[in-house]
């Protein structure tokens, strides 16, 4: 099969299109013919070596975390899917590789593709929707009537998180350029702060939840907009010792992450607010709940651009540039 392969960690390295063996199926896995794959900033960061300490992949590596496609065949101890089923998924860590024609996926990571979406639309959903779900539902336990600040509203996570939070009955504030304000309000944002001319720290106060996706300076300011008892969930770090334990990382990383997150934890305690780092995980059951919301019309994917498979490197560069409005997708078929 054809696949885009990373030979070694290197900033802005070009993936090589090459022939590789078709994946072998392990217990509980199915072989999926990939129709479309989404590109995430995570792909660029893994390529650049930024996650090597916590995700030490062996080379050569096929990148790609999101897919939509068709089941080709099933392996041992599979019970849910059969050949011909249309599915989508954010595949498990250490089993990534959606920038390819085929992939072996755990049944537990799969969900039936939303009937209302095309393959390209479906491929754009899993990682960002699961991130929003796990941040807002699992960790923050967002409730109706609460106020949530979702940073970078026009990005992949932001566009889905705004819709999910609004469906949950929250008041939603976000940051974006003025040009995107009206569009984000159609997705459910109640307040859009122009990050070019306004300082959100002076606008927002007494918020219950912050979904943080930016830099350390923005994180420190975000803690200040929370009311006592509020919670900040970060998907951009710093990682915490609790994450190291939950992810099963080597013991020696726990004190390292404690040191890296010490300042943030201290700031959070001083304001009597909670701080959590989230590195989202594959979860087919949660994805099925997201599918129901999509097919009911409560969430719709936002796609910035679709690239042909041959232009995978261009698609990654587009995402790494940080200006995509919604998701970037690769059409494999």
57-79 pLDDT, tens per residue? 999 999 999 999 999 999 999 99
Q: Reduced to 3 DSSP states, what percent helix, strand and coil does the chain have, rounded to the nearest 5?
A: 35, 25, 40
Helix (H, G, I), strand (E, B) or coil at 135: helix
For residue 29, pLDDT over 90 is answered with: yes
**Which residues on neighbouring strands pair with residue 307, listed in sequence order?**
330
Q: Residue 251's pLDDT is what?
A: 86
What share of the chain has pLDDT > 90, as a percent?
93
pLDDT, mean over the chain: 96
Distance between CA atoms of residues 72 and 85, nearest Å: 8
Confidence of residue 193 (pLDDT cuts 50, 70, 90): very high
Contact 142, 164 (CB under 8 A): no
Q: Residue 248's pLDDT is what?
A: 83
For residue 24, pLDDT over 90 is answered with: yes
Distance between CA atoms of residues 223 and 267, nearest Å: 8
- Of 130, 192, 117, nearest to 160 by C-alpha is 130
For residue 41, pLDDT over 90 is answered with: yes
Q: Residue 252's pLDDT is what?
A: 86
| Mean predicted confidence (pLDDT) in 236-255 | 88
Parse the chain into domains and list their residue ranges: 2-125+301-331, 128-277
- Of 211, 210, 193, nearest to 202 by C-alpha is 193
For residue 244, pLDDT over 90 is answered with: no
Q: Where are the alpha helices (DSSP H) in the chain?
A: 41-48, 119-123, 126-133, 156-167, 181-187, 200-203, 216-223, 241-246, 253-270, 284-295, 312-320
What Rg do the C-alpha atoms of the chain give, in angstroms? 19
Domains 2-125+301-331 and 128-277 share a fold: no
Distance between CA atoms of residues 144 and 26, nearest Å: 42
pTM of the shown model: 0.97
Beta-sheet pairing, 171-176 with 147-150? parallel
Contact 253, 242 (CB under 8 A): no
CATH homologous superfamily for the domain 2-125+301-331:
Medium-chain alcohol dehydrogenases, catalytic domain (3.90.180.10)
Q: Convert the pLDDT of each residue in 124-171 to its tens digit.
A: 999 999 999 999 999 999 999 999 999 999 999 999 999 999 999 999
Distance between CA atoms of residues 100 and 66, nearest Å: 11
142: tokens are 């967002």
What b/e readout covers 310-329, taking b as 16+ CB neighbours within 10 angstroms? eebbebbebbbeeebbbbbb
Length of the chain: 333
C-alpha torsion 31→102→119→110, nearest 10: 30
Confidence of residue 250 (pLDDT cuts 50, 70, 90): confident
The architecture (CATH level 2) of 128-277 comes to 3-Layer(aba) Sandwich (3.40)
Biggest CA–CA distance in the chain, Å, is: 57
Token look-up 């096929």 returns 62
For residue 53, pLDDT over 90 is answered with: no
Q: Convert the pLDDT of each residue in 256-301 to its tens digit.
A: 899 999 999 999 999 999 999 999 999 999 999 999 999 999 999 9
Q: Residue 55's pLDDT is what?
A: 85
Q: Residue 206's pLDDT is what?
A: 98
């Amino acid at each position: 099969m054809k696949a885009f392969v990373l030979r070694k960690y290197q900033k802005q390295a070009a993936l090589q299109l090459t022939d590789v063996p078709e994946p072998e199926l392990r217990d509980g896995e199915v072989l999926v013919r990939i129709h479309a794959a989404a590109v995430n900033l995570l792909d660029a960061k893994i390529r650049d070596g930024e996650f090597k300490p916590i995700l030490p992949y062996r080379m050569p590596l096929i990148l790609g975390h999101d897919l939509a496609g068709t089941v080709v065949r099933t392996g041992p101890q599979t019970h849910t899917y059969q050949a011909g089923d249309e599915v989508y998924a954010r595949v498990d860590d250490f089993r990534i590789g959606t920038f390819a024609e085929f992939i072996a996926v755990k049944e537990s990571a799969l969900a039936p593709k939303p009937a209302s979406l095309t393959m390209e639309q479906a491929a754009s959903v899993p990682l960002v929707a699961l991130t929003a779900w796990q941040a807002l539902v699992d960790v923050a336990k967002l409730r109706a009537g609460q106020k949530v600040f979702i940073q970078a509203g026009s990005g992949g996570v932001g566009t889905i998180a705004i819709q999910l939070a609004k469906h949950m009955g929250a008041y939603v504030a976000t940051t974006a350029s003025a040009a995107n304000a009206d569009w984000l309000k159609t997705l459910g944002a109640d307040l859009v702060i122009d990050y070019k001319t306004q300082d959100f720290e002076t606008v927002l106060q007494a918020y219950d939840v912050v979904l943080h996706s930016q830099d350390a300076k923005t994180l420190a300011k975000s803690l200040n907009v929370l009311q006592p008892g509020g919670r900040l969930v970060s998907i951009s770090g710093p990682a915490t010792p609790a994450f190291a334990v939950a992810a099963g990382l080597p013991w020696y990383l726990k004190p390292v992450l404690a040191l890296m997150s010490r300042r943030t934890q201290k700031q959070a305690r001083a304001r009597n607010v909670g701080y959590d780092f989230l590195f989202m995980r594959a979860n087919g059951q949660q994805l099925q709940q997201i599918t129901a919301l999509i097919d009911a019309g409560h969430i719709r994917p936002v796609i910035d651009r679709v690239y042909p498979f041959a232009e995978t490197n261009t698609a990654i560069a587009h995402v790494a540039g940080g200006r995509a409005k919604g998701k970037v997708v690769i059409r494999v078929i």
